[in-house]
Chains A and B, each alone.
Chain A
Amino acid sequence: MANINISCIAIIGKQNNPLFIKNFNPSHADLKYHYIAHTSCDVMEERATMKAQDMYLGVLFSMEDLSVYGYMTNTKIKFITVLTVPDVIIKDLDMKNIFRRIHAAYVNHASNPFYEIDSEKMIKSKKFEQEIEAIGRGRALEGGNRNSLPATAP
């Protein structure tokens, strides 16, 4: 995990609309990550058709010093993590863990009965932002791992 340097976490709805984009790396403008998140939709959809079993889609593409990883839920919600790459091997397991945490945070948020899942509006939730912030900054969540999904059986 130590070598993973998250620059951005983005969540994209099933209509390829942005739901949440958080920039952790001040060296690039938000706009850049919006563009990256948007462009990764195509790659994810292409990947997902090739391989449907796993939600984790691996590295989608690298652009300049940024590497984009993707994860698509069964409901076609797309999670994107952009890493600033220090030229090391990124373990799939680490990435999967990050995505699982994002997924858990999203599921928590979507479980709110007042959240309209199909509203296509940007997510505005303090709690959710905190959770993503914690993931992005590489901090453990307060309160242990209560938000993580049960690990899929190997």
Chain B
Amino acid sequence: MDTYPPEFAIHLQPTLVVSGLTTTEDASHQEDVNPSLVNNDSPPPPPPRPGTQSSKTGLAAQKSILLQAMLSRNNVSYWDNTKGLAGSLFYVIPEQAAYNLPPTRRFLQQTNQLHLAQQSLSPTAPSSSLYPDGLITPLWIRRHREQIPSVFIAVVDLWDRESIVGSADNGQRGFSDKGPLGVVDPMERDHDTTLAQDLLERRKVSQERGVKFAAVVMLQRSHMDDPSIEDRLNFVRKSAGLDLKNAFYVLPPSNSQEISDFAVNLQRSQYEGSMNYYKEQVKRHKKKRSNLPSTTASVRPGQQPNTGGSQQTLSVQGWMFRYDFKMGMFSECKQDIDNAVKFYESAYGLLIDMFAVTSTITPGTPGLQARTRRWAEAKVLADCLCLKICKFYLYLDAPSTALFNFRRHLIVFKAFSESWKMGDDSFEYWAWLGKQYRVFGDLLDVGTKAGFKLPIPSPGSVVYGSFAGMTEGSKDLNKFSGIGVGNGAAGFGVGPSGDAYVYGGSVGGGRGGGTHGPGAGVNPMLVLQHAGYFYHQSANCSVQRRLRFEMAEEAYPDSSVAPVPTNSRPYPPTLQSMNAERAIDHLALTIELLTKSYEQFKRHKAGRMTLFLASEIAGTYYTAGKFEMALKFFERIGKTYRKEGWNLILTSILKWSIQCAKELGFWENVVEYLIEMMSPDMPATETKRLSVFDELISILHTKIHPANTSAHKPLVLSMPQINSFVSCAVQFHTKQAFVASASKFQFQLATQGGQGALPKSFRLSYVLVEFSDPTLNHRFEDPRSLDQTDVQDSLERLSIKDRTGRTVEWINCDRCTFDTERKTWITNVGLDINPHSTLVIEGALMPEKEQIVQVTKITLGVVTEQWNVALEFPTIEVAQEGGQAGTQHNYMPLQGNPPRRQWLEVSRASEDTSSSPKLKFKHLDKGTKRAPLLRVVPRESKVEIQTLFKSPAYLDEFFPVVIKVRNGEAFPVAMEMDVELQSIDPSIESLDSIVLDPHAALKSLSAGSFQAAQILHGIRLSKASSPPSLSSVLQDLAVGEWAEQTIFVKALEIPTPRTIVCKVRYEVSLENEQKKSSTEKQHAFRVQFIPPFDAAVDYTPQLARVSETKATRESETALVPILQANVVDEKYGAVTVPALTHTEVYLMSTRVNNEGPWPVQVKEVKLIIGSESNTLSETSLAGRDGAAGDVGGLSRGHSISRMRDRKKSLQEVGIRVELLDDSSIGLDGAASRFEDSEDSESNIRPWRSGNLQTFNHLVRVIAADLDMAPEHIEVGYLRIQWRRFEDDGKATAPFVVTNVPLQPLELPKAQPYMTVDLPKDALVNRPFTAKYNIHNPTGKTLELAMTVEPSEGMVYAGIMQATLKILPFANHSIQMNCYPLQAGLTRLPRVKLVINKRKPSRRRGQTSHQPQHPESHEETLVKVRGATKMGGPQNARTGTGEAVVIFVKPETGSLE
């Protein structure tokens, strides 16, 4: 854009001249600057900074601030779409104080001062550069922009006395003091009059020109105090004839903010006047244009001067153009874009017509002669006009119309160029075209930076111009149809007044969003794109230009001899243009344009487009010979194309890169690119492929090749990064292998692509397969030289052709030798990669430790004298990055997406040796895709473990388990065994234990040093016959021999299965090594544990004894126990209150059942009374029962103590249980004890499974206070000393003790009860007396309601209802006289006693264990207890039953 005259290109604004703000020097300086500005590419420079004026007086400083404020928005250059008042209003020209507008020409004519007039720019003036037929000159625009303003503002200052202070006139000061009457100082008036005259003069000149004039008076500080200042200002204004409004301003001293506000307001107020000025100008020129003769009429007069000579004057059409252009220019200044574009388009149309051979508008007039000065001027003008029109359409948000105008311009001028003999085969045309694109790109760039939004041509949001628009468009173009543009009228889809798009509107049936009318469409050529595309286009033109120029230079190499004009194409250029073109660096220009485009695309986030541009830049660099630059570009962009699989592009880039690298002598790069070029993914012809291959081979193997002047550094290529011509894979035959055993693996090397992908055999020097364990690395080497083709190695080779014609070769390489130096396994093998073949090398590796073997890397190497090229195929690292790499491309077969597990199987015919073995690929693991991986596990143990035991086991016993271990290995080994009893619940400390020697354990148990152990470590196994020992030297177990070990498991309490794990450990020495590998075998089994005994107890109250003792006591102590003295119980050391003491005797009948399936020998059964065991057991029992008893006691002690924690001990609640009689009859030999006799022990008869034994014990329960007694009393438990009975009589286990808990005893509650005292029998009709005793064993006074219910067989006389009160621990007796009426068992009248609970007694104030329910009206019946007198066995136990009966004998039965 900057190559055009800036006047034509910049955005024009109304001009405002402000005078008086710059000094003379500044103004003259400004004058100097302005002309240079014309050719300068930058917008008008700001005036001199005020900083230089800092030394000036206050007024000067104010002025400079004002000037600065006025100029601050003077920076508009090419683009200003702010429209009017919102933007920068004026283009401000500062002038010196004495400036006045140049007088009009008419005024000069009138005053005969025409010689003073400015140089005329009209073509009519001979002095003008346009004389005689020029169209318009930029000077004209500059004059209007910089010399003829629309507004003239004169800044003046009022004369001030202060200014003469210091001069000789000091004395006048007193005289001129203003009096109170406001006498005017004549000196001031003098100055003011001069000022007013001056302003008047300027106003008049301005008026003549129609220019708005305004004056600004700047006051000084001293003026502010002057009372006469108002008068003075008024005087000046009136004298100068200035309007108060919008023509006369006063600026008092202010700060910079106020001044800049003033500046803005000043401009605003002048804006309207400025608009009027330009409106007048447009009107004036319109009038002038209408005064022109008609174009058709001008034909004849036009011819007349033509005959007169070469001086041809400007045609009418030219004048029309001038006026149109001027009107456009004034409209633009007026910011009337709509009209400006109209005038400019009209002017453009006229101008274009003038380029034609003969004009159509003024028929017959010849067009501009090519390559003349006027022609060149007009061409520039046309370009600028087009640019301006485009810009204005962009202002109007009609991007397609703008683009339409731009493209039309190109098409029109292409047609003209042909006729000017500078068609598209000339560099001049391409230079011009490139310039056009570039300028348009610049325009878009400037526009988008200033806020212009590019349209988004996506369907749905926009409905495109329809056919209606298209026809309008063609009409529009018809204006130019006569200019021979050819078929340019084919139609653009643009209406003349609108844009091709209708935003948000609807055309036809189409609606935004989904459906479109049938006519909806868009001309893609009219879709405005961002500047990047235009820069790119321009760059393309630049390339074309260079090519044309090079052709031209070839044809006309001499820069001093002009080319001879010919009439054949290509037309020769002129010497001048040739020489001008020679000075141009085309390549630099192309790169500059491409870079510009690149930046645009980058800004629009089109990453891939930038790659394309980068490739073009790189190509240009290559052409320019900057190979290093080019190579850098190619390398950078190649990555993306490779990654995304654009192989055609990649091939092209590689070809370029190879060329660059060769030029630079980067042979390593050449080799790398050639190797990638060998990949079948790179599209190429077969000959090309062959040449690539040959080139690679010749570089690698030819010593005299220019590449091989010296040895190259080792070149390592990571193949997954590039396209490979071979694929590599390693497969293990099995997924799992044992330590020290050989496992087979196959290394597969396959050519990629089909037939012809690899033209010839490619020989590798070595293949290195690296595993995660570096000691397993394998290296296959081919030591042959290139020309040696026969295979020398003696390895087994097989080869077939499969169905696709692929050669599959199999080499058996399982016998490698270990190279101690390189720490790898090495073998020599022929490593030719043949075309369309798969090479499979089978090897074997023997891992020596437990691990997971993975393939880390496969390296294919080519080693020659000068080269060491390694093609690396890493596998592990890449596989770990799988997630990201997995989505990548097919040229990375080892990454993320591993190949199917494939194994080349060799099937040999078993007997027939003549037929060759068959090779076939088989899928392993059903063809799962998995990275090669070999899990090496320790060798399988060949030890056999058996366990022998008799399940289920009993709790508490030492349960023998026999573990038998057989050495199944091939050589004797010494074995150790660990046995572990796994706890049932890891959170609870287990009491279970596992021992080797139960007798010893029992002893330590009795000594109190026993530690319950769940694990037995390091049991050394020896032959079954030899005794087991922990300490003996480790003995080898012979092959096939059994070792045996018995362990004893003692489980307590919980009858669940236990898991026992035994581990057998031993070391096996490897065959070839001194190292030993430890092997372990585990065996786990479960043993069910059940309790050995089950006991059930019946408690029978022994009332007989109770009554006995009662009777004796009662007889002794009368009926008032409460009066008895307290007795101190000697035995228990407790104080008993006789009144509260309650004693009962029970017969305990215990049935013990052997629950389990095994017979047991029971040595002793003993009832341990709970209270005894708690307090006295330790000493007394130990003393009595000996060691055996203690074992159970202690072990049981844990659990009992636990129980004690939960419940209050019996003693605490005052209960004493005494064993009165132990009738443990039924045991063998009665209750006799055989502790000291071995024989007798074995003689004990075993209890078979299901055997039941009954034991009777008589116990007395003495409750100190029944109220406090719990409901259930744990009487005690049975201590059974027993052992498992072996049928062979050989009992190895010692006797153990099991404590069998017994059901608790239920104590009667302390509640009132009745006893009945009846005669033995009664006789009919003979009255008898029944005596009811009511006992109150509680500590409360009871209130009882008694009712007697009559009985059928008995007559009762007495109180039927009564209320009784019984004191605590008192008895009350009731006597009933009854008269039986019938014989037999007869019910007595029922005595019903009900405790009156409505009066709750809280006398004792204790929380009773009898819950009281005060609200409850439920009656509590007092029961009859122990009605034993009644006859009949069926009632024997129903003493507490409902009815009390008596046997009544018939009367006859009486003795009387």
Chain A contacts to B: CB under 8 angstroms: 15-18, 21, 30-31, 34-35, 38-43, 46-47, 50-51, 53-54, 56-59, 61-64, 67, 69, 83, 85-94, 119-121, 154
Q: Give complex CA distance A91, B457 in Å.
A: 13
- B415-423, B485-493, B1000-1008, B1295-1303 - the one binding chain A: B485-493
**B514 in contact with A53 (CB, 8 Å):** yes
B465 sits at the interface (CB 8 A)? yes
With A34-B646, A89-B521, A90-B523: A120-B459 Cβ-Cβ less than 8 Å: no
**B459 in contact with A92 (CB, 8 Å):** yes
Among A18, A34, A64, A154, chain B packs the most CB atoms within 10 A around the CB of A34
Cβ contact of A38, chosen from B605, B646, B890, cutoff 8 A? B646
Q: What 1/0 mask marks residues of chain B from 597 to 617 whose CB sits below 8 Å from any chain A CB? A: 000000001111101100100
Nearest A residue to B537 via CB reads A64
Nearest A residue to B488 via CB reads A87
**A87 in contact with B652 (CB, 8 Å):** no
CB distance from A13 to the nearest CB of B (A): 8
Query: Sorted from nearest, which 4 A-B pairs have the closest CB atoms?
Result: A67-B524, A91-B521, A17-B645, A89-B521
CB distance from B640 to the nearest CB of A (A): 9
**B522 in contact with A58 (CB, 8 Å):** yes
Q: Give complex CA distance A150, B490 in Å.
A: 35
**A35 in contact with B529 (CB, 8 Å):** no
With A42-B608, A88-B523: A51-B649 Cβ-Cβ less than 8 Å: no
**B644 in contact with A17 (CB, 8 Å):** yes
**B649 in contact with A31 (CB, 8 Å):** yes
Q: Give complex CA distance A62, B523 in Å.
A: 10
> Which residues from A are CB-within-8-Å of B645?
15, 17-18, 120
- B contacts with A, residue count (CB < 8 A): 53
> Which residues from A are CB-within-8-Å of B537?
63-64
Q: Give complex CA distance A64, B537 in Å.
A: 7
Nearest A residue to B652 via CB reads A31
**B607 in contact with A42 (CB, 8 Å):** yes
Cβ contact of A61, chosen from B459, B518, B533, B615, cutoff 8 A? B533
**A34 in contact with B649 (CB, 8 Å):** yes
* Supplied contacts A18-B644, A87-B491, A89-B523, 14 more A-B pairs, CB within 8 Å: A16-B644, A35-B612, A38-B641, A39-B608, A47-B458, A54-B460, A58-B458, A62-B525, A85-B525, A86-B490, A88-B491, A89-B493, A89-B521, A92-B520
Q: Give complex CA distance A16, B641 in Å.
A: 10
Q: What 1/0 mask marks residues of chain B from 509 to 549 whose CB sits below 8 Å from any chain A CB? A: 00001111011111111010100010011001000000000
> Can you list 10 pairs linking A and B with CB atoms under 8 Å apart?
A18-B646, A18-B648, A38-B644, A39-B609, A47-B458, A51-B460, A62-B533, A64-B540, A89-B521, A93-B521
Q: Give complex CA distance A42, B525 in Å.
A: 20
Chain B contacts to A: CB under 8 angstroms: 407, 456-461, 464-465, 467, 470, 490-493, 513-516, 518-525, 527, 529, 533, 536-537, 540, 605-609, 611-612, 615, 641, 644-649, 652, 887-890
**A59 in contact with B527 (CB, 8 Å):** yes
CB distance from B652 to the nearest CB of A (A): 5
**A67 in contact with B525 (CB, 8 Å):** yes
**A87 in contact with B490 (CB, 8 Å):** yes
Nearest B residue to A46 via CB reads B605
**What is the interface of chain A mostly: helix, strand, loop, or mixed?**
mixed
Query: How many A-B contacts are there with CB distance less than 8 Å?
Result: 137
Nearest B residue to A57 via CB reads B458
Nearest B residue to A41 via CB reads B608
> Which residues from A are CB-within-8-Å of B889?
15, 17, 120
**A89 in contact with B464 (CB, 8 Å):** yes
CB distance from A69 to the nearest CB of B (A): 8
Q: Give complex CA distance A17, B888 in Å.
A: 10
**A42 in contact with B609 (CB, 8 Å):** yes
> Which residues from A are CB-within-8-Å of B456?
50
Among A17, A35, A46, A119, chain B packs the most CB atoms within 10 A around the CB of A35
> Which residues from A are CB-within-8-Å of B646?
17-18, 34, 38
With A17-B644, A58-B458, A67-B524: A93-B649 Cβ-Cβ less than 8 Å: no
With A38-B608, A38-B649, A120-B645: A59-B514 Cβ-Cβ less than 8 Å: no
**B524 in contact with A62 (CB, 8 Å):** yes
Nearest A residue to B887 via CB reads A15
> Which residues from A are CB-within-8-Å of B644?
15-18, 38
Nearest A residue to B523 via CB reads A89
Cβ contact of A63, chosen from B461, B493, B536, B652, cutoff 8 A? B536
> Which residues from A are CB-within-8-Å of B519?
91
Nearest B residue to A87 via CB reads B525
**B516 in contact with A93 (CB, 8 Å):** yes
> Which residues from A are CB-within-8-Å of B515?
154
Nearest A residue to B897 via CB reads A118
With A31-B652, A35-B615, A38-B644: A90-B458 Cβ-Cβ less than 8 Å: no
> Which residues from A are CB-within-8-Å of B516?
92-93
Q: Give complex CA distance A42, B540 in Å.
A: 22
> Which residues from B are CB-within-8-Å of A42?
605-609
> Which residues from B are CB-within-8-Å of A63?
533, 536-537
**A30 in contact with B648 (CB, 8 Å):** yes
Q: Give complex CA distance A31, B464 in Å.
A: 32
Q: Give complex CA distance A41, B519 in Å.
A: 28
CB distance from A1 to the nearest CB of B (A): 12
> Which residues from A are CB-within-8-Å of B611?
38-39
> Which residues from B are CB-within-8-Å of A119?
890
> Which residues from B are CB-within-8-Å of A89?
464-465, 467, 470, 493, 521-523
Q: Give complex CA distance A43, B224 in Å.
A: 67
Among A30, A43, A59, A69, chain B packs the most CB atoms within 10 A around the CB of A59
CB distance from A36 to the nearest CB of B (A): 8
Q: Give complex CA distance A40, B456 in Å.
A: 15
With A34-B648, A54-B460, A59-B457: A87-B606 Cβ-Cβ less than 8 Å: no
With A41-B608, A53-B514: A59-B522 Cβ-Cβ less than 8 Å: yes
CB distance from A99 to the nearest CB of B (A): 12
> Which residues from A are CB-within-8-Å of B608?
16, 38-42
**B525 in contact with A39 (CB, 8 Å):** no
> Which residues from A are CB-within-8-Å of B514?
53-54, 154
CB distance from A86 to the nearest CB of B (A): 7
Q: Give complex CA distance A5, B605 in Å.
A: 30
Among B459, B524, B887, B889, chain A packs the most CB atoms within 10 A around the CB of B524
CB distance from A17 to the nearest CB of B (A): 4
Q: Give complex CA distance A86, B647 in Å.
A: 31
Nearest B residue to A91 via CB reads B521
Q: Give complex CA distance A38, B459 in Å.
A: 22
Q: Give complex CA distance A62, B609 in Å.
A: 12
> Which residues from B are CB-within-8-Å of A53?
460, 513-514
With A54-B514, A62-B533, A91-B519: A83-B524 Cβ-Cβ less than 8 Å: yes
> Which residues from B are CB-within-8-Å of A17?
644-646, 889
With A46-B605, A92-B516, A119-B890: A56-B459 Cβ-Cβ less than 8 Å: yes
**B533 in contact with A51 (CB, 8 Å):** no
CB distance from B603 to the nearest CB of A (A): 13
**B492 in contact with A87 (CB, 8 Å):** yes
**A31 in contact with B648 (CB, 8 Å):** yes
Q: Give complex CA distance A51, B520 in Å.
A: 18
Q: Give complex CA distance A149, B492 in Å.
A: 33
CB distance from B467 to the nearest CB of A (A): 8
> Which residues from B are CB-within-8-Å of A67?
524-525
> Which residues from A are CB-within-8-Å of B492?
87
CB distance from B630 to the nearest CB of A (A): 17
Cβ contact of A51, chosen from B407, B461, B527, cutoff 8 A? B461
Q: Give complex CA distance A86, B461 in Å.
A: 25
With A16-B644, A119-B890: A93-B524 Cβ-Cβ less than 8 Å: no
Q: Give complex CA distance A63, B535 in Å.
A: 11
> Which residues from A are CB-within-8-Å of B461?
51
Q: Give complex CA distance A42, B601 in Å.
A: 11
With A17-B645, A63-B533, A91-B518: A85-B460 Cβ-Cβ less than 8 Å: no
**B458 in contact with A51 (CB, 8 Å):** yes
Nearest B residue to A118 via CB reads B887
